[in-house]
Structure 1
Amino acid sequence: MNLENIDTEKWLDLGLEYGVKIIGAILIWIIGSWIIKKLVSTSKKLMTKSGYEDSLQGFLSSLISWGLKILLIITLLGTLGVPTTSFAAIIGAAGLAIGLALQGSLANFAGGVLILLFKPFKVGDYITGSGESGTVKEIRIFTTELATPQNRKVIVPNGPLSNSNIINYSANDLIRLDMIVGVSYDDDIKKTKEVLMNVLTSNPKVLKDPAPMVAVTELADSSVNFAVRGWVKNADYWDVHFENTEAVKLQLDAAGIEIPYPHQVEIHKES
């Protein structure tokens, strides 16, 4: 028996066996990469059509791409005869360890995805949430950046923000301006209502429709309180707030109507 022929046949068999596997793995990699590229491209188009934010599109596309590539690599290793059970166990254990170590970050990530998906607010909106108020400057995956009225930069984690009550003052085009004005019990209610209504109707930024309203809302301990309500455009809210606050004081003073306030009475003792 010729040992050289046996060794040659053995190497040929091994070459054929692993050569077929290697060629198969190469084909799987080429076809799999093409499929992944198409899937990622299709998912981007669907997300764009659905109106997803650019930052969310980029993150989800990367997540889909890397997830599919990991599956492709595991498939390749299986094709080459490498046991993949241990790889799956290692990936699972690593995922669990990372998840436990990054609980807060994962909560913020989940919150960011929810905010970007359901859009309770957008960049430019003025909101209150998670104990903070300000104009939304940027929505990231993990945090949201606000600018306060004093132009202070506030970074709010998306986890607590998504789980809190969010007030979006910019969601609607119109907003109602509410004021409570208290006057003395000695003053005439009808006349007071006329003065306060004149404050609303004389301001061109207060809309005629919906109609403004003045009504007695409470008979308090030391004053008769009036609800003064007018609808304004969102962008005009603060201007009208300051203008009407000043106008209420000036016009009540001009009409001789008193706004109650604590008085200090001096007591002089006889010597």
Structure 2
Amino acid sequence: MKFNEISQVAIQLLTQFGLKLVGAIVLWLVAQRLIDFGLKLLRRAFRNQKVEPTIINYILNIIGVTLRIVLIVAVLGFFGVETTSFAALLAAAGVAIGAAWGGLLANFAAGAFLIIFRPFKVGDFITAAGVTGTVVEIGLFTSNINTPDNVLTIVANNKIFSDNIQNFSANPYRRVDLLAQLHQDVEHNEAIALLKAKISQIPHVLSSPAPDIEILDFNLAGPVLAVRPYTSNEHYWQVYFDTNKAIRETFGEAGYPAPEHRYTVRGSSNPEVNAFVSPLG
């Protein structure tokens, strides 16, 4: 008789627990969908207000994490767990985790400062913490950067904020720096004039400021020209490669001899060893 009573009580408790478990799962799934739907509506509202994507992502990350913590507390309360005790336990755990993982808090604070001071935004091409690429996202603790070779690199916010930041997208244009080696017998003024005319025809090279082409240095082969056209950041590499082609084509069409190093050896009676020519490349 007692066994039957115990089994009935056990079945009743298991049934209640099973119903609560099913209810908790349904609550979790429905709440997750509602949270995702609400975040989508917020994102759309922010975009309609023309808020920058950087700020949108950061705010939505904070709201999403907060709502999921509330959801976890609600699910535990559904099972009869005392939520006030859980909140106190969560706060104590947060203090312990904060003490042990101070780096996470530093990254969180750095992310907030990146949003406030805005040294860059999503879509900017930057160099930060030794990584060069396009900013994809500024998150709570890390930022995502796509490098030029299309590798997604995740960098801690604190590392970015504590290091130097170069924002190539902040200014309307940037300079392409290249070198052109001349043969020592080539008339440099003529070469400069030909190069300026050729480079000015390259698509997306700015006319103001005009390309700079001047003698930068001298070596054993002859003068070295600094070739510096200006262009917008998005066309930098196209202008970079096209300028290299223009240097090659201009000097070839002009019939300039290939640069070569020349050495003179003195003190020998044999005239064949008095001069030595070493072609470049």
> Residue deviations 1:162-198, cap 9 Å, x none?
1111111111222222222221222211111112212
**Are the counterparts in 2 of residues 192 and 257 from structure 1 also a CA contact under 8 Å?**
no
1:154-233 → structure 2 map (5 Å cutoff): 154-233=153-232
**Are the counterparts in 2 of residues 214 and 227 from structure 1 also a CA contact under 8 Å?**
yes
The whole-number CA distance in structure 1 between the counterparts of 2:277 and 2:206 is 44
Aligned to 2:233: 234
Given the superposition, is the C-alpha separation of residues 165 and 58 from structure 1 closer, same or farther in structure 2, using an over 3 Å criterion?
A: same
Alignment identity in percent?
34
The whole-number CA distance in structure 1 between the counterparts of 2:221 and 2:163 is 38
Letter in 1 for 2:100: A
The whole-number CA distance in structure 2 between the counterparts of 1:235 and 1:258 is 35
Residues matched between the structures, number: 204
**Are the counterparts in 1 of residues 192 and 214 from structure 2 also a CA contact under 8 Å?**
yes
The whole-number CA distance in structure 2 between the counterparts of 1:200 and 1:147 is 30
The whole-number CA distance in structure 2 between the counterparts of 1:262 and 1:219 is 12
- Structure 1 stretches lacking a partner, 5+ long: 1-44, 66-86, 267-271
Given the superposition, is the C-alpha separation of residues 152 and 59 from structure 1 closer, same or farther in structure 2, using an over 3 Å criterion?
A: closer
Aligned to 2:131: 132
The whole-number CA distance in structure 1 between the counterparts of 2:252 and 2:126 is 36
Structure 1 length normalisation: TM-score? 0.63
Q: Secondary structure at 2:177's aligned position in 1?
A: strand
Given the superposition, is the C-alpha separation of residues 199 and 265 from structure 1 closer, same or farther in structure 2, using an over 3 Å criterion?
A: same
Structure 2 length normalisation: TM-score? 0.61
> Residue deviations 1:3-30, cap 9 Å, x none?
xxxxxxxxxxxxxxxxxxxxxxxxxxxx
Q: Per-residue deviation at 1:159? A: 0.8
Q: Secondary structure at 1:206's aligned position in 2?
A: coil
> Residue deviations 1:70-89, cap 9 Å, x none?
xxxxxxxxxxxxxxxxx99x
**Are the counterparts in 1 of residues 57 and 139 from structure 2 also a CA contact under 8 Å?**
yes
Given the superposition, is the C-alpha separation of residues 53 and 174 from structure 1 closer, same or farther in structure 2, using an over 3 Å criterion?
A: same
Q: Per-residue deviation at 1:63? A: 9.9
Pairwise CA RMSD: 3.6
Given the superposition, is the C-alpha separation of residues 256 and 49 from structure 1 closer, same or farther in structure 2, using an over 3 Å criterion?
A: closer
**Are the counterparts in 2 of residues 179 and 229 from structure 1 also a CA contact under 8 Å?**
yes
Given the superposition, is the C-alpha separation of residues 151 and 186 from structure 1 closer, same or farther in structure 2, using an over 3 Å criterion?
A: same
The whole-number CA distance in structure 2 between the counterparts of 1:117 and 1:159 is 14
The whole-number CA distance in structure 1 between the counterparts of 2:232 and 2:50 is 31
Aligned to 1:32: none
